[in-house]
Amino acid sequence: MTTTSGPALPKLIATDLDGTLLRSDRSVSERTCSALKSCAAAGIEVVLVTARPHRTVVELARGLGSVTTAICANGAAVLDVATGVAELVHSFQVEQALAIVADLRPVFSPRTGFALETGGEVFCEPGFRRGLVSGDGAVLTDDLRLARPIGSRYVKVLARDDSANADDMVTAARSVLGDRAESSQSGGRGLVEIAPRGATKAGTLAWLCARLGIDAQDVVTFGDMPNDLPMLTWAGTAYGVANAHEDVLSVVDRVTASNDEDGVAVALEALLGPERAASE
């Protein structure tokens, strides 16, 4: 562990992936990897907090070489990176997820396609663009009611209409679902993500920090989209990348460079100081 003197360091770094840590081509720069490893070397816990399901996070997290835990599906699951096993903190029963789809169909455009995500696989209607889901777990089905999910649980309901505005879709979903679920958007045009009640990035990050004995004031977070807002407002220090949604930029403590300019690395290098940042 580094013994260099300097300002007190945070105990945990929590960062979003797409649009924040990852560049627009979904790559991670060497500079970013180095900054994260320097944080780990300084004794700082590094946690990924993402809307992605855990099946699409495992290899990416392992490649960083500094991450042991990832919060996935907007807080529904916590992934042990080493084992690849995800603990479902929140989930929908099959009947709950299907009821949400049924309630949202009349509200959204007839062009809207739906999908149901377990974390290990995702069941997609023909109208849901499959390019939105990555990994080997995509299953096309003509009727979501016939899907047979692993463990009979879902972590997210997804609705997509390429011609719609995602913020407007979130507003419509919230008006129908109320507190039955958590509706948000993470950057896909016309894509709304509905997580189980209580599943937010902030709620699960707070749960994880309680396990680790870390207070919110000792946490630094990074994000770019409205689904990051609960996490950003919960933590002691919040950064938005320069390319962030206007709602994020209006509430964060600090703004760093864009994701394509390695904004997370820029901020971490400043937090660590030149000697710590070069010590990895």
- Going from N- to C-terminal start, the domains of the chain cover 12-89+200-277, 92-196
* CA–CA separation, 277 and 89 (whole Å): 34
| Fold of the domain spanning 12-89+200-277 | Rossmann fold (3.40.50)
Length of the chain: 280
Phi and psi for 77 in degrees, rounded to 5? -140, 150
Please give the structure tokens belonging to residue 116: 């149901």
pLDDT in tens, 168-199: 999 999 999 999 999 998 876 789 999 999 99
3 state DSSP class of 107: coil
Residue 131 has pLDDT above 70, yes or no: no
Residue 278 has pLDDT above 90, yes or no: no
What single DSSP character describes residue 20?
Answer: I
Q: What CATH number was assigned to the domain covering residues 92-196?
A: 3.30.1240.10
Task: Please tell me which residue, 160 or 189, carries the higher pLDDT value.
Answer: 160
Buried/exposed 58-93: b ≥16 CB within 10 Å, e otherwise: bebbeebebbebbbbbbbbbbbebeeeebebbbbbe
State the pTM of this model: 0.90
Phi and psi for 123 in degrees, rounded to 5? -100, 125
pLDDT in tens, 195-218: 999 999 999 999 999 999 999 999
* CA–CA separation, 34 and 179 (whole Å): 41
Q: How far is CA 254 from the centre of its chain?
A: 20
Decide: 86 and 55 in contact? Cβ < 8 Å. Answer: no
pLDDT in tens, 55-114: 999 999 999 999 999 999 999 999 999 999 999 999 999 999 999 999 999 999 999 999
